[in-house]
Structure 1
């Protein structure tokens, strides 16, 4: 088992998982104002991401992967907009359960985790290069 290969595998799995998380956050933000098109229809429901541990058979390293992309089951907020096509008989429209502050916090956390994994990947690569330089 090559420990330097394990470092790069672990860091790469973290970058991949955080990249998927960023994609889900972007999807949530993009659909924050998406409402239904028929009366009483549900709007966009916020997506959530969970991570799982995965063992690399070759190196025995514990990697990370996206386990499940779920749906946030919190209630939708009602907004009074009788002119909207999705308004019910009382003029209320359901709006998505996406909170921009939570999404921006998730985005920052994912970006920082991605950056930390990138730094670890680069450190492993630099260590490998130093070993090759010593062997010359």
Structure 2
């Protein structure tokens, strides 16, 4: 694998984790939304990743490089949480409104995990760049 392929691998990992962070932020932003019926309640979304081999050409021939790709964004199928609020403008005929069943603590843990994975990919890029620069400086001396 060429040293320049590291940029592709880490970049695809950063893109995947950014999408994961966006999904988590959307889930947290909609965790307290209210709907008048169960069918319209927001359902949490989670990306599903897969590894994709990409052919990379270098001086020694062909090598495969594994990149991260989003296979799909899954939507949870959880039941809505009913709240008895007869005076709420969105309440149904029985006086209930519904909110999503989103675990904010689990979403925060997922956010921390995605953030650390993103930071790890940034560190890989930074280290690779530093190694390339030091290699170029060796040629100058």
TM-score, normalised with respect to structure 2: 0.86
SS of the residue 2:46 aligns to: strand
- Larger of the two Rg values belongs to structure: 2
Is 1:77 equivalent to 2:81 in the alignment?
yes
* Partner in structure 1 of residue 43 of structure 2: 45
* The one of 94, 99, 107 aligned to 1:95: 99
What TM-score, normalized to structure 1?
0.89
Report the equivalent of 1:11. 10
Q: Quote the residue 1:86 is aligned against.
A: 90
The separation in 2 between residues aligned to 1:85 and 1:70, in whole angstroms, is: 31
State whether structure 2 residue 33 is matched by structure 1 residue 34.
Answer: yes
Show structure 1 runs of 5+ residues with no match: none
Runs of 4+ aligned structure 1 residues displaced above 4 Å come to 38-41
* Range with bigger deviation, 70-79 or 83-92: 83-92
Structure 1 residue 56, shift from structure 2 partner: 2.1
* Residues 37 and 98 in structure 2, CA contact (< 8 A), matched pair in contact too: no
Cα pair 2:80 2:99 within 8 Å, conserved: yes
Question: How many Å separate the matches in 2 of 1:83 and 1:40?
Answer: 18
Aligned residues: 134
* Distance in 2 between residues matched to 1:96 and 1:5, nearest whole Å: 44
Two-structure CA RMSD over aligned residues (Å): 1.6
Question: 5+ residue gaps in structure 2?
Answer: 58-63
Question: Residues 3-53 of structure 1: CA distance to partner in whole angstroms, max 9, x if unpaired?
Answer: x112221111111100111111111111112222x4554211111111111
Tell me the residue number matched to 2:120.
116
More strand by share: 2
Preserved CA contact (<8 Å) 1:76 1:95: yes
1:54 aligned onto 2:58: no
Whole-angstrom CA distance in 2 between matches of 1:118 and 1:80: 47
Q: 3-state SS of the aligned residue for 2:8?
A: helix
